[in-house]
């Protein structure tokens, strides 16, 4: 069934996400990291030593792709592999001090850029946007 509102929302999501990604790219001064790398660092930081399998599931990418991504982050000193305290066969991933510092700096820059756009909205619109985004996130998490 074709719903014009859903079609419009789909187009708006694609267009808005493209514009946000373009605006949020770290500056050349900062680092040429991609959103995937930044998102991965954020997930690792928030998840407290996730496994490769959990990272793969969170990012919805294949294990070989996660391995390549993680190896790149390890080689750049952003994360480290650590053995699991209960099962020595299992390897967990931990953000390094360098990775944490980079993530904090990048988050600050991205927040500043986001606020430059959002300050043009009414405070009520921002509150509504936050409320709706939270609902959307929960709905997507429930369906994944």
What are the chain's domains? 32-118 (1.10.10.10)
Structure tokens at 78: 């952003």
Please give the Cα distance from 40 to 44 (Å, whole number).
6
Structure tokens at 105: 């700096």
- In eight-state DSSP terms, residue 27 is P
pLDDT per residue over 45-95, tens digit each? 999 899 999 999 999 899 999 999 999 999 999 999 999 999 988 999 999
Between 3-12, 19-28, 115-124, the lowest mean confidence (pLDDT) is in: 19-28
């Amino acid at each position: 069934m074709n719903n014009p509102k859903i079609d419009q929302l789909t187009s708006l999501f694609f267009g808005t996400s493209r514009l946000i990604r373009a605006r949020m790219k770290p500056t050349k001064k900062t680092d040429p990291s991609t959103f995937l790398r930044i998102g991965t660092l954020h997930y690792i930081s928030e998840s407290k030593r996730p496994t490769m399998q959990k990272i793969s599931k969170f990012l919805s990418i294949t294990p070989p792709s996660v391995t390549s991504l993680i190896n790149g982050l390890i080689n750049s000193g952003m994360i480290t592999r650590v053995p699991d305290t209960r099962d020595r066969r299992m390897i967990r991933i931990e953000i390094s001090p360098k990775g944490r510092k980079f993530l904090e700096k990048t988050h600050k820059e991205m927040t500043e850029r986001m606020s430059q756009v959002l300050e043009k909205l009414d405070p009520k619109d921002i509150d509504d946007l936050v409320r709706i985004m939270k609902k959307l996130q929960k709905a997507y998490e429930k369906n994944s």
